[in-house]
Structure 1
Amino acid sequence: MDDRDIVNFNVGGTRFATSKQTLTWVSDSFFSSLVSGRIPSIKDSTGAIFIDRDPSLFASILNYLRTKDIDVKHHELTALKKEAEYYGISPLVNRLSLCCELMSASCGGVLFHGFIPPPELSHSDADPLEAFKCKHGLEYGEGAFHSIPVSGKGKALRQVTLIKGHHNWIAAAYPHNICIYKIRERSLWHCIWTSPHMEQFIERLAINAKAQSGTSKESTHRLVAASYGSSVRLWQVTSAGEATDIGNFNLTVCVDELLFIGSQLVALGKSGKLGVWHSMSQHWQVQGVTPITSFDVAGTNLLLGCRNGSIYYIDMQKFPLRMKDNDLLISELFHDVNEHAITALSVYVSPTTSISGNRVELAYGTHQGTVNIIIQHPETVGRGPQLFQTFSVHKCPVARVDLSDKHLLSVCTDYNHVRTWSITRFRGMISTQPGPLPRASFKLLSLEDVDPLNSYRAGNHVGPYGDSSDDQQIFVQKVLPETDMLYIRLAATGHTVCLIRSTDGSEITSFCVHDCEGSSRMGSRPRRYLFTGHSNGSLQVWDLTTALDLYSKNETVGETPGGPTASDLVSMLEFCDVSNSRHTTPNVSPSPSLLRGISQRSLTQRGCVSTTSTPQSPLVSATRPSTAPPNIQGSNVP
């Protein structure tokens, strides 16, 4: 072999040497173009061609060119595939693409429970074509519509921004519409009602508890409320999809929280306004209060943590009977001795809990970072709740606290730093010996856009989720604002239970954990589900009960052993010519010239537009996960 046939490389500081024959057996690759001089090269002081790439991945690529075999044991398939794409090694790209497809759960793994397609939403756009494109994520080109990633205005119009649940009902908010879904037998979700288009951007959403109607024990209707700015709009929706617009109400300040306590609608403004609508009297009442910094609900009691260090409560069950001069009866429960702002509240709800009675257990966090427990037991009646213990473990304001049967946890604003303690009880009461014991410390990194939507935090709340008597409370961690992944983590320890990944690669824009009632069959029990809303307007349902059960048995969640490994699969495909067709069975991709002139409906039915691609062009598909990493600035499509 002549020395002129030897090519030297300097890849990220590591030197390689190979022959021109090895580099050029794949035509139209990066190396064949480099050797032929079709593309310029940079050489170091020794004359070696410099390539600024990962040398370890380059070694695997070079070994494939030498032997037509690839070792995937020491590299991730995705990283290896990207490197093969960079060098234009099309046979290897096709092989690794198939491996990545088979290793991913494109139809959903063991935790995937269901898919709810995007609803038919009304638009007020002046241009009907633009409204159609925003709705379907379509763009017209070369004689036919083809799917494109939704971005900009179309994305803002279609994405699910808020999800709320009650019993077997789910309310999903889009920027200008609300959809109500109801579960039926065999776990089928049906859209029973879609609200008219609202000009304002929906910022808060609530769906009510069981409402009474006439003499029936349980009504078949629900109350659905939405807020934007200082306005609150309320509907009554029946299970048959018939809706009644009850009215519009004004809090006079921006609505920061919207919730139902029983059949009463409550709107809170942190600047110091409280609005209550009662379903029996049909009366809306607004009252000024001390600026609100936190709240919690215990039964029919609403507790308010305020900036002045006081904790107030309102017994909603006695409203509107106990009204004096059209004022709500707001009673002070406790006042912080240091007068620190109460930034987080949690009441331990047990069968004997009574805020206005003789038993209270409550945890609260302050702006200075302290976590306090106050208690009132029967033997302390007459003196009010007393400070039980204080923890000074945070340097930043406490954003959330949760006092449950077995644990106390707090979350501060320092990248959602979580501290947890184990609690022992004697006859249902917190035991003083040994008292709360530290258990875990971890962080729940969750980044936000520089200018997020007003509904973003309400629709992407980290938690904790689960009943206070439940030992399996969880956090839902969304690391990036534009991502298709969620981490489900145990609230007590921070351990990861499972990873949720969108089945179609669409961005997760909101989520909600909700316990749905079991079926009417005997022995059924409520199951916990995660509902994820997506940028394409769809919802996906995930079975967290199964995830927690598998985790408690130390079984791997979402992975089923058996079958060929990635390495085995790559070896099996050595003598196969793998194309970029995404059909589930071998199928000849039609020529692009034949696609022109065919109607969009025909193309969609045949699956030609979004499911096939020529090997030379990048594939853009609305039904497959993207291999591009999450991008905070926006998803880039090649």
Structure 2
Amino acid sequence: MESQFLLVVLIFSFLFSLLSGRISTLKDETGAIFIDRDPSLFAPILNFLRTKELHPRSIDVHLLMHEAEFYGITPLVRKLQLCDELDRSSCGTVLFNGYLPPPGERSLCTGTVVHLFLCIVTLFFSGQDPHRAGQGSDPGMVRIICGHHNWIAVGYAQFVVCYRVKESTGWQQVFTSPRLDWLIDRVALNAKVMGGSLGDNDKMVAVASGTEIILWAICPDGNGNEIGVFSLNVPVEALFFVGNQLIATSHTGKVGVWNAVTKHWQNQDVVPINSYDTAGSFLILGCNNGSIYYIDVQKFPLRMKDNDLLVTELYRDPSEDAITALSVYLTPKTSDSGNWIEIAYGTSSGTVRVIVQHPETVGSGPQLFQTFSVHRSPVTKIMLSEKHLISVCADNNHVRTWTVTRFRGMISTQPGSTPLTSFKILSLDDIDGHGGCAAGTEIGPYGERDEQQVFIQRVVPDTDKLYVRLSSNGKR
């Protein structure tokens, strides 16, 4: 009797909402009522109203719960909430790798926590207003994270914290920087300093805000020594290490290099920069004038006449289109002559090209190897790996992929690169990200070039759901 009574109440509640106009409906000439909702979602709801049994089958529980809330069927909403809770766990899934609370001495009641996964570091904001954080009023907000080997550097609003993981001890906080007077926009980490005056056991971490850069050396005991404060004179848009050298760049045509041997900071004016990549000790720049330049930052060569960095033109695009994306792949060293250098780049016209340089033909420069004209918008990202060539254009992150054929490690034209797939990484994210920084807005691809790489897709802002998609075929 109780079940029958509940069914009567549910049906009455539903019919009352239907007839009162709270649920949007249409009537035909015979008076039949049509509900303009998804029929696949309404079917299990109608079955619940008839039998009080729930058979969601393959339907997403979240979507079904949203429909039940729309119809005002509270008992069904509660059942679906229970189903949803069974699928959730505060401990995460098999990919969950760690949980790092804010540093104890700086933690706030609305502090941000860092959840670590096997290949991806994600930020979860609790109680945060990203617009307030942009004004510096929320020092507990995580703005950016970078990793190197078994270390990660977490950039909070006004300080940076470095963590290290070991099999024996797990994740441990190692270094916390002094509180800064400005908001952190960029973080760079070098957890494997090779030789030099810093010592093999030292690590380096750098942060940037606006035009200013601060660099610290982290000793084995966790103490940090400030190496220096440098200025690029224009806003820093990229901050990273090439070996022991710290590099800062701006699209306006500025490159700053700190050399670990000479401990000298050098600013250099170049052609406006659209893209960059690194290969060994070389910094490769894709510029607005259609040229690709390189700088050997380890040798730190200076021109005698004016003490400028030695910037060398490596290649000029046949159409002189701006180089908007760049990816360098060094093949495994197969002989004493060195590596075969392969460079894939995209242009403002949507063209994708691959150029190669054999060690025995260094004097003649790279040769044009392949050209693909498959995009109609500027290429924004490109990745050349051992097995795939991947390009992304500005048309809603349209991705094209090819399989790469290799012979003895070197790219080959027999049978040549074969088209693999086409898909889009749609995202409605604000271009500025959280609190005015770009953290969380980069789709990738991420991963080692000799292994499987992935895109990270966040479809809508302010969500706890990320999609990990294979970069080669777009599959989740």
Matching residue's letter, 1:417: H
| 2:48 counterpart (60, 64, 71) | 64
The equivalent residue for 1:441 is 422
Tell me by how many angstroms 1:266 deviates. 0.8
Greater displacement, 184-193 / 223-232: 184-193
Contact map agreement 1:314 1:331 (CA 8 A) in 2: yes
| 2:212 counterpart (225, 231, 251) | 231
In structure 2, stretches of 5+ residues that fail to align are 114-124
Q: Secondary structure at the match of 1:433?
A: coil
Q: Distance in 2 between matches of 1:49 and 1:406?
A: 57
Matching residue's letter, 2:366: P
Contact map agreement 1:349 1:468 (CA 8 A) in 2: no
Matching residue's letter, 1:77: V
In structure 1, stretches of 5+ residues that fail to align are 1-19, 124-131, 138-146, 497-638
**Could you list the per-position Cα deviations for residues 529-569 of structure 1 after superposition, in whole angstroms to 9, with x for gaps in the alignment?**
xxxxxxxxxxxxxxxxxxxxxxxxxxxxxxxxxxxxxxxxx
Matching residue's letter, 1:109: T
Q: Distance in 2 between matches of 1:409 and 1:58?
A: 41
**Is 2:245 the counterpart of 1:264?**
yes
Tell me by how many angstroms 1:204 deviates. 1.2
The equivalent residue for 2:84 is 100
Indicate how the Cα distance of structure 1 residues 215 and 49 shifts in structure 2: closer, same or farther if over 3 A, else same. closer
The equivalent residue for 1:185 is 167
Tell me by how many angstroms 1:323 deviates. 6.3
Matching residue's letter, 1:180: C
Contact map agreement 1:359 1:378 (CA 8 A) in 2: yes
Indicate how the Cα distance of structure 1 residues 422 and 187 shifts in structure 2: closer, same or farther if over 3 A, else same. farther
Between the two proteins, what is the percent identity of the paired residues?
A: 51
Tell me by how many angstroms 1:395 deviates. 0.9
Tell me by how many angstroms 1:207 deviates. 0.5
**Is 2:323 the counterpart of 1:342?**
yes
Q: Distance in 2 between matches of 1:244 and 1:217?
A: 13
Tell me by how many angstroms 1:184 deviates. 2.3
Matches within 5 A, 1:318-397: 318-319=299-300, 325-352=306-333, 359-378=340-359, 380-397=361-378
The equivalent residue for 1:110 is 94
Tell me by how many angstroms 1:98 deviates. 1.8
Report the TM-score, using the length of structure 2 for normalisation.
0.83
Indicate how the Cα distance of structure 1 residues 198 and 353 shifts in structure 2: closer, same or farther if over 3 A, else same. farther
The equivalent residue for 2:151 is 169
Indicate how the Cα distance of structure 1 residues 474 and 61 shifts in structure 2: closer, same or farther if over 3 A, else same. closer
**Could you list the per-position Cα deviations for residues 331-356 of structure 1 after superposition, in whole angstroms to 9, with x for gaps in the alignment?**
111122322111111221123399x9
Q: Distance in 2 between matches of 1:226 and 1:347?
A: 26
Which protein has the larger Cα radius of gyration, Structure 1 or Structure 2?
1
- Structure with greater proportional strand content: 2
| 2:176 counterpart (175, 189, 194) | 194
Report the TM-score, using the length of structure 1 for normalisation.
0.63
The equivalent residue for 2:185 is 203
**Could you list the per-position Cα deviations for residues 149-193 of structure 1 after superposition, in whole angstroms to 9, with x for gaps in the alignment?**
433566663332211111111001122221111112246212222
| 2:129 counterpart (139, 146, 151) | 151
Tell me by how many angstroms 1:52 deviates. 6.8
Q: Secondary structure at the match of 2:330?
A: coil
Matching residue's letter, 2:160: I
The equivalent residue for 1:481 is 461
Matching residue's letter, 2:289: N
Q: Distance in 2 between matches of 1:413 and 1:265?
A: 30
Indicate how the Cα distance of structure 1 residues 32 and 359 shifts in structure 2: closer, same or farther if over 3 A, else same. closer
Q: Distance in 1 between matches of 2:315 and 2:59?
A: 58
Matching residue's letter, 2:165: I
| 1:469 counterpart (417, 437, 450) | 450
The equivalent residue for 1:73 is 57
Tell me by how many angstroms 1:312 deviates. 1.2
The equivalent residue for 2:402 is 421
Higher relative contact order (CA 8 A, sep 6+): 1
Provide the aligned C-alpha RMSD in A: 3.7
Q: Distance in 1 between matches of 2:406 and 2:416?
A: 9
Indicate how the Cα distance of structure 1 residues 70 and 353 shifts in structure 2: closer, same or farther if over 3 A, else same. same
Matches within 5 A, 1:19-98: 24-25=8-9, 30=13, 57=41, 60-61=44-45, 63-73=47-57, 75-98=59-82
Matches within 5 A, 1:205-604: 205-212=187-194, 218-219=200-201, 221-319=202-300, 325-352=306-333, 359-378=340-359, 380-449=361-430, 452=433, 456-457=437-438, 459-470=440-451, 472-496=452-476
